[in-house]
Amino acid sequence: MTSQDLMHHMRSSGQDAGSWLEIDAAAFESNVRNLLTMIDDTALLCAVVKSNAYGHGAGLLLPSLVRLGVPFVGVGSNEEAAIARRCGFTGRILRVRAAAPQEIKAGLRHDIEELVADPQSAWEMHKIAAEAGKLVRIHLDINSSGISRHSLDVSSALGRASAVAIVSHPGLQLAGIMTHFPKDDNGHIETALERFKSQALTLLHLTGTPREGVLLHCANSYAALHVRGSWLDMVRAGAVLYGDSDPRAGHFQRCLAFKARIASINSYAAGTKVGYGLTRTLNRDSKLATVTAGYGDGYRRALARQGGVLVRGRRAAIVDVVSMNSMVVDVTDVADVSPGDEVVLFGRQGSAEIAPAELEAANSAILADLYTVWAQGNRVLVNDEHM
């Protein structure tokens, strides 16, 4: 298959589906480049691709990270690590959550660096490493930020003794000390950062570890963009690379659009009720279109009440409660609508936009809670100049 054929195949395989996500390669690369430029010479970048690259498709975006020479990627699952290696990523891989022993064992072949925060799982990890005749690089996750999620409290003598015990296992090699901020709040981050630096230096001293051999890291996207002192040796960024960050924080573009198509178009008289439960009544003679996406595609029913979609650059209100694989929208005011027309459920169409704030308000959830499950894995890479 030539790359032209492949591109055609990828396009059609996504766009033959009822719904799909378009992933903008150029926007993603521009975001990565922006962040690299910002932190270059100061800190390493760990590009976080957990949850299948925040639902964007790890396999679609890893080639960009390889091309841009990003030194670290942050994964959740072994599968994401395998995808990274398959895409030719030869840099370092950090798992950004605590892993079960079964995952750690199976992940050895991808050379994953693991977070460790308690003596018992450290002992399990040591045994797995020793049995395989390997050394596992570990990052000690400490609770300086107060998140209390797989993180060791080293404010007590017992906690510090646990840290020393963890690091003493011959199957494990201390490669980093880290914490993770639970709040997007500068004041909180600045206080936690000072505690982290002081606790990390104490641990280096207690374990007799030279400073140069260990990466100190704590910044997520928010901290990296808003608290410069948080970069330390490495920035672990996810959200900002996908353009899911405060638009005032710089030139980071959204990389994703959720799309479907118009199937059927029907006219109904005023007073007609619509959809399951017959919950809506038309207050005028209406032209209604069926869209080829529903809650089974990740378009939550919670969005129906306030939700709208874009058709031919115009907004069309959702009229029904959203079915499993379709929804009904009001296209009475959209001229020339036809079966096959593209429908934008999230993103831009012409100058119109379905914006993040709108969906977050309707769903009372962060956008990532929505987009990580959209379109059931139908993803298409667009704007990829390398294909």
Question: How crowded is residue 142: how many other Cβ atoms within 10 Å of its Cβ?
Answer: 25
What's the min distance (Å) between Cβ of 37 and ligand PLP? 17
Residue pair 288/275 in contact (Cβ under 8 Å)? The answer is no
**HEC string of 285-327?**
CEEEEEECCCHHHCCCHHHCCCCEEEECCEEEEECCCCCCCCE
310 near ligand PLP, judged by CB under 6 A: no
Our CB check for ligand PLP shows the closer of 239 and 257 to be: 239
* Least distance CB 97 / ligand PLP (angstroms): 6
Taking the complex as a whole, how short is the minimal distance between the CB of residue 119 and ligand PLP, in angstroms? Answer: 20
Q: What is the 3-state secondary structure (H, E, C) of 207-238?
A: HCCCHHHCEEEEECHHHHHHCHHHCCCEEEEC
State yes or no: residue 177 binds ligand PLP (CB under 6 A). Answer: no
User: Closest approach of Cβ 180 to ligand PLP, in Å?
Assistant: 4
Task: Find the residue with minimal CB distance to ligand PLP.
Answer: 238
State yes or no: residue 48 binds ligand PLP (CB under 6 A).
yes
In this structure, the chain runs to a length of 387
The 8-class DSSP code of residue 363 comes to H
Q: Kindly tell me which of 20 and 72 has the beta carbon lying closer to ligand PLP.
A: 72
* CA dist., res. 186 & res. 197, Å (int): 16
CA dihedral 119, 125, 126, 132 (to 10 degrees): 170
Buried b (16+ CB within 10 A) or exposed e, 46-65: bbbbbbbbbbbbbbbbbbbb
For residue 357, give the nearest of 261, 244, 249, 260 by alpha carbon. 244
Q: Which stretch binds ligand PLP (CB under 6 A): 77-85, 233-241, 285-293, 336-344?
A: 233-241
Cβ nearer to ligand PLP, comparing 207 with 230: 230
Q: Which range binds ligand PLP by CB under 6 A, 10-18, 105-113, 234-242, 286-294? A: 234-242
Q: How many residues bind ligand PLP (CB under 6 A)?
A: 12
Would you count residue 220 as binding ligand PLP (CB under 6 A)?
Answer: yes
DSSP per-residue letters across 53-109? HHTT-HHHHHHHHHHTT-SEEEESSHHHHHHHHHTT--SEEEESS---HHHHHHHGG
Q: Are 73 and 94 in contact (CB under 8 A)?
A: yes
Which residues form the catalytic set? 50, 276
Three-state SS annotation for 13-65: HHHCCCEEEEEEHHHHHHHHHHHHHHHCCCCEEEEECHHHHHCCCHHHHHHHH
Per CB under 6 A, the list member of 27, 43, 96, 262 interacting with ligand PLP is 96
Q: Does 176 bind ligand PLP (CB under 6 A)?
A: no
- If you ran DSSP here, which 8-state letter would residue 284 be given? S
**Residue 53 in the binding site for ligand PLP (CB under 6 A):** no
Contact stretch for ligand PLP (CB under 6 A) within 103-111, 237-245, 251-259, 319-327: 237-245
Among 169, 180, 312, 379, binds ligand PLP (CB under 6 A): 180
If one asks whether residue 238 binds ligand PLP (CB under 6 A), the answer comes out as: yes
Is 96 or 381 the residue whose CB approaches ligand PLP more closely?
96
237 part of the interface to ligand PLP, by CB under 6 A:
yes
Beta pairing class for 280-281 and 273-274: antiparallel
Structure tokens at 192: 């936690």
Shortest gap between Cβ of 226 and ligand PLP (angstroms)? Answer: 12
Give the shortest CB-116-to-ligand PLP separation in angstroms: 13
Q: Near ligand PLP by CB under 6 A, which window of 155-163, 230-238, 262-270, 285-293?
A: 230-238
| CB environment 210-227: b (16+ within 10 A), e (fewer) | eeeebbbbbbbbbbbbbb
Among 221, 290, 323, 349, binds ligand PLP (CB under 6 A): 221
Query: Shortest gap between Cβ of 24 and ligand PLP (angstroms)?
Result: 18
Q: C-beta of 46: minimal distance to ligand PLP in Å?
A: 8
Q: Is 110 in the site for ligand PLP (CB under 6 A)?
A: no
DSSP 245: S
239 is a contact residue toward ligand PLP (CB under 6 A): yes
For ligand PLP, which is the closer residue by CB, 20 or 181? 181
List residues binding ligand PLP (CB under 6 A).
48, 50, 96-97, 180, 220-222, 236-239
